[in-house]
Chain A
């Protein structure tokens, strides 16, 4: 098959932890500028899938192609690959011993070789854009959860990645802080950033995604536009999952 034009291709990706198979053959293609949301119950493999894409977890079988490069081939420079993929975690994972500015400039300086001034200019521009300019010299623990997560997004963006992976980035936040993070992601989507987003925010998924994938028991059970998935899900498991979400008042 042709690898051209797609930002990300997953072919029959399988991943097991010990005897537990978490991903049982995932096939997924993301076009450039496409935003795909992964939904599904906890433990359905959403996070593992994201961690496999930037090789934080090695896969057991299958193939992952990022912008035309087979990243699961032997001899791939994982550090170089990861520079082109931004990942944002549920628990922010900012570096607590560094100021916001240092959190953002560390990787551009050390991994990309930017000068301190260049990296800072890049960081300041991003901070200003996301309303965090006044937090530049603060330490992460002094910020609210929403601010920390926005800083984490800025930290990933400072590497100017071609693909962003978001792993339930609002799950650790108080409800009133969710909106500020989601609006940042909406802005990125509007700019054409290619994103693979694992989320429990169904309303957000419906708004922002070009496509929604329902993960269940390690496979993509249903894949369609938000209208299809949320409006008329075909699979009984998808219907059941969405029914529960509606009952919980989250859609």
Chain B
């Protein structure tokens, strides 16, 4: 901190990045545009939570009968984790909309969101899979021995335990997703980052970027604390006074 403030270029940087008046001026616009980020994030997250679980379950199906399904799910995860997010957004956002297929939405916002869903579902499906595999086989044995079928055992016994264990890495991915909503700007969608770019190019001052950064952090931190609280509450309920 002291190094920064005492640096030779600090006065210039302060003026270019931390202009109080400009901050106040650009904040309302960017905050309004940021609502779009929140919207993209909330919708994408809801879809990812379900879709990624579906992929993870497909990858865990046993027996030779499901071999093709497992292969397809694996290819999906490999592909979308491998391609840079930015490219997926470009390919879907500009490619699919240019096809002009009847009945298919041409909105860049829509396809940008789909791209995020596809990329992040690939990551999250692996997180789910790790969680599912971490539940001891004796739990499934107990569930199946009571006469529950495979789906019921997954639904009521395996997945609830898996999800509790993967909350921290899951939150990691969602914070990543939250930030990557800014990439949808590349398709021309005016969200917070694009809005701040517009403001920056109008004033040649970078303060709007700081404004955007603050908005992203402002939503990430409460989310992180909320999940911490959820995990702690759950642990308290399950365990007798553990080691502190």
Residues of A bordering B, CB below 8 Å: 51, 54, 56, 78-80, 82-83, 85, 87, 89, 91, 93-97, 106-107, 110-112, 139, 141-142, 155-156, 159
Residues of B bordering A, CB below 8 Å: 138-139, 141-149, 152, 156-157, 160-161, 164, 237-240
Contact A93 B156 (CB under 8 A): no
- Which of B144, B146, B149, B238 is in CB contact (< 8 Å) with A96? B238
- Which of A78, A82, A87, A106 is in CB contact (< 8 Å) with B156? A106
A56-B142 Cα distance, complex, nearest whole Å:
9
Contact A91 B138 (CB under 8 A): yes
Contact B142 A159 (CB under 8 A): no
List, in ascending order, chain A residues with CB within 8 A of B239's CB.
139, 141-142
Contact B238 A93 (CB under 8 A): no
A209-B143 Cα distance, complex, nearest whole Å:
28
List, in ascending order, chain B residues with CB within 8 A of A80's CB.
147
Would A107 and B138 be within 8 Å (CB), given that A95-B157, A96-B161 are in contact?
Answer: no
Contact B139 A110 (CB under 8 A): no
List, in ascending order, chain A residues with CB within 8 A of B146's CB.
82-83, 106-107, 111, 155-156, 159
Would A110 and B148 be within 8 Å (CB), given that A95-B157, A141-B240 are in contact?
Answer: yes
Contact B147 A83 (CB under 8 A): yes
List, in ascending order, chain A residues with CB within 8 A of B157's CB.
95, 106
> How far in angstroms is the closest Cβ of chain B from A235?
32
List, in ascending order, chain A residues with CB within 8 A of B145's CB.
54, 56, 82, 85, 87
A83-B164 Cα distance, complex, nearest whole Å:
28
Contact A56 B139 (CB under 8 A): no
List, in ascending order, chain B residues with CB within 8 A of A51's CB.
141
A-B contact pairs, 8 of them (CB 8 A): A56-B144, A93-B142, A95-B142, A107-B143, A110-B148, A111-B148, A139-B237, A142-B238
> How far in angstroms is the closest Cβ of chain B from A98?
8
> How far in angstroms is the closest Cβ of chain B from A50?
10
Specify the chain B residue showing the minimal Cβ separation from A106.
Answer: B156
Would A89 and B138 be within 8 Å (CB), given that A83-B147, A111-B146, A156-B146 are in contact?
Answer: yes
Contact A110 B156 (CB under 8 A): yes
List, in ascending order, chain B residues with CB within 8 A of A159's CB.
146-147
Specify the chain A residue showing the minimal Cβ separation from B152.
Answer: A110
